[in-house]
Structure 1
Amino acid sequence: MSKRTADEEALAGPLKGGGRPDAMDVDDKPNDMGEFEDEFEDEFESEDEIIEAGVDGRPDTEREAEEAAMDVDSGPGTFIVGRTQLEAGQTLAPDPTTYRMLHNLSTPWPCLSFDIVRDNLGDNRTVYPATMYTVAGTQADYSKANDNALLVMKLSGLSKMDGEDGDESSDDDDDDEDADPILESKSIPLTSTTNRIRAHQTPSQDPSKPPTTLTATMTESTNVFIHDITPHLASFDSPGSVITPQQNKPVCTIRAHKAEGYAVDWSSLHPAGKLLTGDNDGIIYMTTRTDGGGFVTDTRPFQGHRSSVEDIQWSPSEASVFASASSDGTVRVWDVRSKSRKPALTMQISDTDVNVLSWSRQTTHLLATGADDGVWAVWDLRQWKPSSGPAPEKPTPIASFNYHKEQITSVEWHPTDDSIVAVAAGDNTVTLWDLAVELDDEESKDTAGVQDVPPQLLFVHYQNLAKELHWHPQIPGALVATGEEFSVFRTISV
């Protein structure tokens, strides 16, 4: 959870679509990476006011009167989305006792889309300090488009919170666990801002060699660039290695789209590489990697949406099926074997834009969606039937939450727990939810004073301009979220 602190600058508004915030307060160099920030040392040593009962310097009577006016569930200094209002000049600081791990880092320009790359360090890792690899695309200011880059990053030295014992074991010394985090990066020049980026790995035929790691980057230029970042990842463990200009060039450029787009996904069931890309004209193209290592884009697009394709995702269990979300308020399910290139199912699930979707990998008939009105919902695809009339059918979700008051910008199921969902929203928060929570009658009485806070809500993490999040597939409970800066964290509740 978060606590309130005062700051001289007011919060920026939520970022939507392709808009870009101002540059970070770092050296203005295209390849200059940011640094991790020791949030609990730097911030609390500043002269910022800490608004917390007992330490704010106000008379006891004044403070006690304010506390009495607050709802019993909020507690002094606790921020609750949609209920607690920040005063002018206030921002939020995290409560360190609620995290197992928390690190923040900034980059020269915001990276509002990223993906996590699987590594060879093992699954179900609980050893600290942790290491992870990510890819991200920048959104530089319009006047400095040449600053844009695809960033391949290694994050290491990610330690536990001070005093956080947990049940994790480590073979490292305590001194190693307290080491400073390290950010290493390789930069691939781009001439356009990144709208969405996704990574894909193809197993090597030679067991002694690493998998081939590809990225697909949808840019504002309407082009989609596919890069092979295998040498960039390998260079982190090969001191002195040099990336050649040829290795920075895309292995394929998809020029089929006539409008920019935000929808990209690689199929996990096609190891060689099968890619979907959707644009603001409502057009979806499929690109397939050939046996020779090249790429072919099918010239027959998938058409059906009346407006922009906001997100797209392959089915985790059926190799020929994918779903798409659109600003026309629908989710459509497609079968790539269809000669008509028309959707097999169309469901009108919102009166506003459907921005994001996520397919559960544990229970593959469950689909989560997030819309522009702040509502996120869970759908049982077994209940969706083809419509017999001209208008799309409006189904009933099995769960729906109207907690966030701004647009949902990212939603993702936990990789191994089909009841846990992470959500990012334009109200500058990332929330964690447990759909398995149900209150009995006695518990309902105890929480009667908690209005508009669903019992399924586990945790609220403050993230300025929250845009995209991903669970780490190999470090249980670890989340990476991006917005104005990156947050890498794990809570004590997951």
Structure 2
Amino acid sequence: MSKRAAEDESLAAPLKGGDRPEAMDVDKDHDMGEFEDDFEDEFESEDEIIEAGVDGRPDAEREAEEGAMDVDGGPETFMVGRQQLEAGQTLTPDTTTYKMLHSLSTPWPCLSFDIIRDGLGENRNVYPATMYTVAGTQADGAQANDNSLLVMKFSGLSKMQGEDGEDSDDEDSDDEDTDPILEHKSIPLNTTTNRIRSHQSPAQDPSRPPTTLTATMTESSQVLIHDITPHLASFDTPGMIVTPQQNKPVCTIRAHKTEGYGVDWSPLHPAGKLLTGDNDGLIYVTTRTDGGGFVTDTRPFRGHTGSVEEIQWSPSEANVFASASSDGTVRVWDVRSKSRSPALTMKISNYDVNVMSWCRQTSHLLATGADDGEWAVWDLRQWSSNPSAKPAPLANFNFHHEQITSIEWHPTDDSIVAVAAGDNTVTLWDLAVELDDEESRDTAGVSDVPPQLLFVHYQNMVKELHWHPQIPGALVATGEQFSVFRTISV
């Protein structure tokens, strides 16, 4: 949940699905906004470091806001997406509901990003936390040539402290007073990024790190595959320089005639197998060969009558994938099909189906999010090839009043789902929650708030979110800024 406080500031309007955030007004002389390309002409041995306060704002600004809140008698609880802000009001987070909360800025908004698995350990709860990500920028218009792929390291991610200055929980911590730091390596793209996904192939030598690949769906319709292994290594190898040759894509896929948003690497093909879908409704498969090259099958999968908005491989069947489209359908395919047509087609919405997430813990569960703000969970075992069959979703929610922009199952809990929407919110849901009769009476008057709703996090222009696979409960979301947080609810 969030709180509101009076300030001479207003919220930007949420973006519709597919819209690109406007470029941020960046003062190039300010440390927070200066992201120079490390590889244009000269090379430096030190990475660029960007520091932010606890919530991404200068201490003076935050203290002034807290003072204004005290004058007004304290903030009120505010439900984002259900209430309207009054003129001159803006939102501040209720920090008592977070275990960790940080904002980090980039010079241009990023529509899409992905989290890179690292070698720092599984299920870690040590703070300050460190994580690695990759993102593509959204510099439009005259600045389009400034676009780049950003390989980033977030560090110094400390946890929240209690009001008495003590730790808010009993987890291990080395230093609670650190500020978050963002280091980056920049790979020039000269085009905006619609969506980016990463893949790691195990090294033949166990002592060496895995090869980390990225696939970038661009506005130019090309799909660029980069090997960012040296970029990641350079963060933790003093003096290591990434050469211009290592910034070049290892493969450029030119099969698509229009831009697209659907892209996914198979989790069951270690070498690398990639799906890409475009606005013409066509889907292509690109496979990494034994020699390290890439081959794209020129025969597309056809069936959608609208743009392919999302693609995901099955987490349990190596030859099966699903796609979601602006035609309101989800289709399930088998790559071995000679007809290149879908095995199953299900009309699930009268609106664009923007996003989709396949549950890795229970692989017959699929979550979808549509342009009308509704998201749903489906049991694929109830789907059939009979076109007249219309199974009901296991659960569906219309809490959000704007389009769903991202959805993802918790990596280890098949009842927890995170959802991002155009109403500037990230919501966390527990599908296992049910109300008994007494609880139903207690919740009278808030019937439009489902009992499964665990948490509401405000983030301006939020576009995509991901759970961190190695830090339990940690979420990263991109919008006007990057938000890294962990709630006390999950």
Q: TM-score, normalised by structure 2?
A: 0.92
**Offset of 1:22 from its aligned partner?**
2.5
1:414 to 398, 410, 420: 410
2:63 to 26, 45, 65: 45
Map of 1:382 onto structure 2: 381
Map of 1:166 onto structure 2: 169
Contact 2:313/2:321 (8 A) holds in 1: yes
User: Is residue 2:266 matched to residue 1:264?
Assistant: no
**Offset of 1:387 from its aligned partner?**
2.0
Letter in 2 for 1:406: E
Map of 2:44 onto structure 1: none
Partner Cα separation in structure 2 for residue 103 and residue 29 of structure 1: 19
Map of 1:253 onto structure 2: 252
Partner Cα separation in structure 2 for residue 186 and residue 29 of structure 1: 9
Partner Cα separation in structure 2 for residue 230 and residue 302 of structure 1: 31
Partner Cα separation in structure 1 for residue 243 and residue 460 of structure 2: 36
Map of 2:440 onto structure 1: 444
**Offset of 1:449 from its aligned partner?**
1.9
Map of 2:31 onto structure 1: none
CA RMSD of aligned residues (A): 1.7
Provide closer, same or farther for how the CA distance between residues 425 and 33 of structure 1 changes in structure 2, counting only shifts above 3 A: farther
Contact 1:307/1:328 (8 A) holds in 2: yes
Alignment of 1:144-223 (within 5 A): 144-163=143-162, 164-170=167-173, 172=174, 176-223=175-222
Partner Cα separation in structure 1 for residue 54 and residue 183 of structure 2: 17
> Which is further off, 305-314 or 23-32?
23-32
Map of 1:73 onto structure 2: none
Map of 2:462 onto structure 1: 466
Partner Cα separation in structure 1 for residue 73 and residue 354 of structure 2: 44
Query: Could you report, residue by residue, the CA deviation over 1:5-28 in whole angstroms, capped at 9, with x for unpaired residues?
Result: 234342222223142313243316
Partner Cα separation in structure 2 for residue 395 and residue 419 of structure 1: 20
Query: Which SS does the other structure have where 1:475 is aligned?
Result: coil
Partner Cα separation in structure 1 for residue 240 and residue 455 of structure 2: 42
Query: Which SS does the other structure have where 1:143 is aligned?
Result: helix
Letter in 2 for 1:457: L
**Offset of 1:492 from its aligned partner?**
0.5
Provide closer, same or farther for how the CA distance between residues 343 and 42 of structure 1 changes in structure 2, counting only shifts above 3 A: farther
Provide closer, same or farther for how the CA distance between residues 404 and 34 of structure 1 changes in structure 2, counting only shifts above 3 A: farther
Partner Cα separation in structure 1 for residue 265 and residue 434 of structure 2: 35
Alignment of 1:1-400 (within 5 A): 1-15=1-15, 16-27=17-28, 30-31=36-37, 35-39=51-55, 41-46=59-64, 50=68, 55-56=71-72, 77-163=76-162, 164-170=167-173, 172=174, 176-388=175-387, 393-400=389-396
Contact 2:374/2:400 (8 A) holds in 1: yes
Query: Could you report, residue by residue, the CA deviation over 1:267-317 in whole angstroms, capped at 9, with x for unpaired residues?
Result: 000000000000111011100000000000000000100000001100000
Query: Which SS does the other structure have where 1:46 is aligned?
Result: helix
Partner Cα separation in structure 1 for residue 111 and residue 289 of structure 2: 31
Q: TM-score, normalised by structure 1?
A: 0.92
Query: Which SS does the other structure have where 2:311 is aligned?
Result: strand
> Which is further off, 159-168 or 237-246?
159-168
Partner Cα separation in structure 1 for residue 197 and residue 176 of structure 2: 31
Partner Cα separation in structure 2 for residue 404 and residue 192 of structure 1: 32
Contact 2:21/2:461 (8 A) holds in 1: no
Contact 1:5/1:93 (8 A) holds in 2: yes
Letter in 2 for 1:38: V
Query: Could you report, residue by residue, the CA deviation over 1:102-141 in whole angstroms, capped at 9, with x for unpaired residues?
Result: 0101100001200000000110001111110000000003
**Offset of 1:327 from its aligned partner?**
0.4
Query: Which SS does the other structure have where 1:233 is aligned?
Result: helix
**Offset of 1:240 from its aligned partner?**
1.4
**Offset of 1:345 from its aligned partner?**
0.4
Letter in 2 for 1:234: A
Provide closer, same or farther for how the CA distance between residues 42 and 427 of structure 1 changes in structure 2, counting only shifts above 3 A: farther
Contact 1:30/1:147 (8 A) holds in 2: no
Partner Cα separation in structure 1 for residue 129 and residue 320 of structure 2: 35
Provide closer, same or farther for how the CA distance between residues 150 and 223 of structure 1 changes in structure 2, counting only shifts above 3 A: same
Aligned residues: 468
Partner Cα separation in structure 1 for residue 181 and residue 392 of structure 2: 47
Contact 1:24/1:110 (8 A) holds in 2: no
Contact 2:122/2:470 (8 A) holds in 1: yes
Query: Which SS does the other structure have where 1:423 is aligned?
Result: strand
Map of 1:426 onto structure 2: 422
Which runs of no fewer than 5 residues in structure 1 stay unpaired?
A: 59-75
Contact 2:139/2:192 (8 A) holds in 1: yes
Query: Which SS does the other structure have where 1:45 is aligned?
Result: helix
**Offset of 1:177 from its aligned partner?**
2.6
Partner Cα separation in structure 2 for residue 49 and residue 327 of structure 1: 47
Query: Which SS does the other structure have where 2:121 is aligned?
Result: coil
Map of 2:41 onto structure 1: none
Query: Which SS does the other structure have where 2:290 is aligned?
Result: coil
Letter in 2 for 1:471: W
